[in-house]
Structure 1
Amino acid sequence: MGRSSKSNSNKSRQQKSEKKSKSLKNYPTLLGGEQQMLNDSIISDTDSLFNDASSIVSINSNFSTNRKYQVSDDGIVSGQQSPDYIETNDDNTIISTTNYEDSNKKLTPIDDTLAKLSDILDELLISKRKSNRQNHLDSLIKIFQTKFIGIYLDNRKTTLQQIIESGLKKFDDDTGSIALLLTLTIITIGNEFNDQFQSLYNLLLKIMIDPSAKPSVRSKVAISLSIGCFITDFGDEKIDEILDYLLSIALTNVRTSGGQSLISSQLTEINAFKALCLNLFTFLSTIADFDYVCQLIQQDINKLIKLMDSTDLDIRLSAGTTFAFLYEFYDNNDQEFDIYNLQDLKDKIMKLSNDSNKSQSKKNLRVQRSEFRDILHTIEGNEYEMEIIKFGYEQLDIDSWRMKIYYDIFCSILGSGMNIHLAQNQTLRDIFELGSVLLDKVLISRDTRMNAKQQHVTNRKQREISRSKMRGKRGDFDY
């Protein structure tokens, strides 16, 4: 009985080994490209598959996405995720279309932003339908605003220039979006876009000073010119010219268009454009030759004062902010504020800070009183009350009118992506004096979690020690 049982067990082992050897014979055909499911199997190839180098390929179940593997000369398989079948190429590459999951490694999901960016740029170069172009522009603008993609644009500068230049020359409904795209590109790339901005400068200036263009389009072009002059080397040479145009637009009194009176909606758009031009004038004044700035203001100081009596709230606030910055600059440089009678200016600002005109909405009055109280606080010789903007593990201190003007302008461009650019965009960090970009936020958050966990363990130990001391005193009460 013992011998027969041993012989039976030997036969069963032989049968299993034969089955296993038969199943292994199928793998070379699978590697040749036949689609078959591989479940929890290991291939050990000692007969020099893949350029006579020994290799081990481990393929697990639950396959879904595509992955490409590269086999090196020493037989090591590496690459990105893939597979439903495996096939090899002549260039020593394994292409697999089966989902691969490695339980010992955490695979980081690859952001498809780069693929979208490349596709959108290619479509904008060839697409002629307005609806498609506008959709692509909106998607591209959203990517620029919500992500920092500066390192991915090194080989795309010429493409972006072609898209922007063709869009500006067409001068159609897309022109405003094209101008916004240019602004975001300069903020993202910085001075590396200097040559491209130089080639576009005259075209932008022509649109900004064209009275027949829509105020909304002229506004976005004015922002592009101002940001380009603020960041690029070429723009730095053109600041005085742009300052002159911006101030003249802001002080121009427009009531008619083509001999006809403007309707309410048109007047609102023009007032918004004038207020923006005055804000951009103050924005560029922070880095311009201050003597030249004062010379421009003194020529039209009465017109600038009258802007605080405007029926439009934005124009009144823009004029007030300009005077607050000017006074702050004079005070920081220990100079006397001599461009206008200081007491008359204080009286006008105080009147606006206490205004209770019922013809205005309660919201507008509340905003006006709040802003002009801050302006009056500065004109009276007090320091700017610091505001703190927190983003991630850092904070931005708004401690002057100059920094407030910077923050307001870039917020109006970047929107909800402002914090992302403050954390990752070195150009913006230099403007706000934040220093170099910090380490990867994943590493920072990981350290923070580890510190929190360690603190939790320490607190638990202290709690246990405290409870053990009190454990024997629970019944020591006199009733």
Structure 2
Amino acid sequence: MSSRGGQHGQVQPFSDEDASIETLSHCSSYSDTASVADEGGEAGEDAALEDFQYKLKGFIDSTVDKSAKTRQGALDGLKTAMATRILYEFISERRMTITDSIERCLKKGKGDEQRAAASLACLLCIQLGSGIESEEVFKTLKPIFKNILADGSANIQARQAVATSLGLCTLVAEDDILDVHATMECFENLFTRSYARMDGTCPLISPQTSQLHTNALLSWALLLTICTANQLKDILRKHLPKLPRLLESEDVNMRIAAGETIALLFELARDMDTEFEFDDWDELCDKLNALATDCNKHRAKTDKRKQRSVFRDVLKAVEESDFQPETIRFGTERMTIDSWVRKRTYDAFREFVGSGMNYHLQANEFIRDVFELGPPMLVDSATIKAMKISRFERHLHNSAAFKARTKARSKFRDKRVDVGEF
């Protein structure tokens, strides 16, 4: 393999400069023609694209290098490229090669390498979108993910990464809703170990294991958003009475994850039945209120501040069915995070693409479909002013979106299966 990416044959991860090359996006025909013209027209674009693809091929080759450091650099390089640009055509042609590399790194690598491979698997599915290609990738990797997740002797950082990746890969690429439920049970086997005992005492769990349980809970919550109505009814009966026991955890991240999951379950329950009632509602609201106003001197100030902010929102969700909306702007578009379902889904994707989220919201057809944004809009600067709408028009649009919300959520949850099967 050429050492073009670095000295002594080691491939270096992408720099910020590499990640911002405009022609990365050309692989998906989503390019900024103005930038290309500035850099020398078609010839400059072709040269930059060729150089970029050469570098990507070098990363793919280096995922099987003898040096763990080189493999790690190659995995990180591919992760950065997939997180910051759409590379569907390039990746589609090489998906099985990349999948084989991920499989090898997961099986034979150690902590950091396994963690990078797990994240790369997720980004590969995000690039390929929902369909036969990502399904084939996931069928290869799912058994390995589940083995690592269930193996108490496996590297804890690898298990944490797999807990997160398995959740999103399942959302994107699982073609059987019964298999979704089986994966959710794998997550339940982990996070239920953090439940406070009936006498109110908490099990002794290391911070690393608590993070594993938190990741498992968040992935479980993500998959709640695509459960059928019958599955949700079963989950509400089995788990909603017990989940508040996670609010006793010593780990602030677990408490917050548990609070947000409870808010999500209440939202889903009320979507199915506006008269939904919870037997221990008063006791739960007392717990949530205590966390929203926590003055425990033994907790760090930053933890208390973060916790109080989240639990004020969770308490409103449980008491008043209220959600504090947030507007995400990307390019000339905007999207409102207006429900716990949409928040959990958005946070899950952002976990992997990071600062590339706005780009993916603009250009990734699969992610746009998940958030009901329509086909990608290719916009040049000359049309931006024409696309700006008045406040009144925006108000009408938001009102229509609000009325359609419950219907849209139900459609998204049940799209893979006929509820009558259950």
**Which band: TM-score by shorter chain?**
0.7 to 0.9
* Aligned mate of 1:349, from 258, 267, 288: 288
1:217 alignment counterpart:
158
CA contact (8 A) 1:249 1:274 kept: yes
Instruction: State the one-letter code of the partner of 1:419.
Output: N
The Cα shift of 1:336 comes to: 3.6
SS of corresponding position for 1:252: helix
The 5 Å alignment of 1:111-122 reads 111=49, 112-122=51-61
1:160 alignment counterpart:
98
- The structure with the greater share of residues assigned to helix is 2
CA contact (8 A) 1:294 1:339 kept: no
Instruction: State the one-letter code of the partner of 1:167.
Output: C
1:250 alignment counterpart:
191
1:419 alignment counterpart:
358
- The structure with the greater share of residues assigned to strand is 1
The Cα shift of 1:223 comes to: 2.3
Q: Does the C-alpha gap of structure 1 residues 113 and 294 become closer, same or farther in structure 2, counting only changes over 3 Å?
A: farther
1:399 alignment counterpart:
338
1:143 alignment counterpart:
81
1:62-106 per-position Cα deviation (integer Å, ceiling 9, x unaligned): xxxxxxxxxxxxxxxxxxxxxxxxxxxxxxxxxxxxxxx9xx977
SS of corresponding position for 2:144: helix
Question: 2:110, 2:68 → 1: CA distance?
Answer: 10
Question: 1:287, 1:450 → 2: CA distance?
Answer: 37
Instruction: State the one-letter code of the partner of 1:139.
Output: G
- State the TM-score, normalized to the length of structure 1: 0.66
SS of corresponding position for 2:93: coil
Q: Does the C-alpha gap of structure 1 residues 252 and 116 become closer, same or farther in structure 2, counting only changes over 3 Å?
A: same
Question: 2:117, 2:42 → 1: CA distance?
Answer: 40
Q: Does the C-alpha gap of structure 1 residues 276 and 450 become closer, same or farther in structure 2, counting only changes over 3 Å?
A: closer
Pair 1:295-2:234 in alignment: yes
SS of corresponding position for 2:206: helix
The Cα shift of 1:405 comes to: 0.6
Q: Does the C-alpha gap of structure 1 residues 363 and 373 become closer, same or farther in structure 2, counting only changes over 3 Å?
A: same
* Aligned mate of 1:310, from 249, 259, 265: 249
SS of corresponding position for 1:402: helix
Unaligned runs of 5+ in 2: 1-36, 197-202, 389-422
Instruction: State the one-letter code of the partner of 2:228.
Output: D
Question: 1:447, 1:201 → 2: CA distance?
Answer: 45
Structure 1 vs Structure 2 CA RMSD: 2.7
Moved more, 196-205 or 280-289: 196-205
CA contact (8 A) 1:301 1:340 kept: no
SS of corresponding position for 1:118: helix
Question: 2:385, 2:337 → 1: CA distance?
Answer: 29
Question: 2:259, 2:387 → 1: CA distance?
Answer: 47
CA contact (8 A) 1:186 1:193 kept: yes
2:318 alignment counterpart:
379
SS of corresponding position for 2:336: strand
Pair 1:269-2:208 in alignment: yes
Percent identity for Structure 1 against Structure 2: 30
Unaligned runs of 5+ in 1: 1-100, 256-261, 453-479
2:266 alignment counterpart:
327
Instruction: State the one-letter code of the partner of 2:163.
Output: A
Question: 1:424, 1:302 → 2: CA distance?
Answer: 41
The Cα shift of 1:237 comes to: 4.1
1:22-71 per-position Cα deviation (integer Å, ceiling 9, x unaligned): xxxxxxxxxxxxxxxxxxxxxxxxxxxxxxxxxxxxxxxxxxxxxxxxxx
Q: Does the C-alpha gap of structure 1 residues 396 and 250 become closer, same or farther in structure 2, counting only changes over 3 Å?
A: same
* Aligned mate of 1:447, from 365, 371, 383: 383
Instruction: State the one-letter code of the partner of 1:286.
Output: T
The Cα shift of 1:335 comes to: 4.0
The Cα shift of 1:337 comes to: 3.3
CA contact (8 A) 1:330 1:336 kept: no
SS of corresponding position for 1:396: strand
CA contact (8 A) 1:298 1:339 kept: no
Q: Does the C-alpha gap of structure 1 residues 423 and 107 become closer, same or farther in structure 2, counting only changes over 3 Å?
A: same
1:330-353 per-position Cα deviation (integer Å, ceiling 9, x unaligned): 222334434542121111111111
2:128 alignment counterpart:
189
Q: Does the C-alpha gap of structure 1 residues 431 and 105 become closer, same or farther in structure 2, counting only changes over 3 Å?
A: closer
- State the TM-score, normalized to the length of structure 2: 0.74
The Cα shift of 1:303 comes to: 4.0
Which of structure 1's runs of 4+ aligned residues deviate more than 6 A? 449-452
CA contact (8 A) 1:215 1:270 kept: yes
Q: Does the C-alpha gap of structure 1 residues 451 and 293 become closer, same or farther in structure 2, counting only changes over 3 Å?
A: closer
Q: Does the C-alpha gap of structure 1 residues 410 and 166 become closer, same or farther in structure 2, counting only changes over 3 Å?
A: same
Higher relative contact order (CA closer than 8 Å, sequence separation 6+): 2
1:8 alignment counterpart:
none
Instruction: State the one-letter code of the partner of 2:107.
Output: K
1:281 alignment counterpart:
220
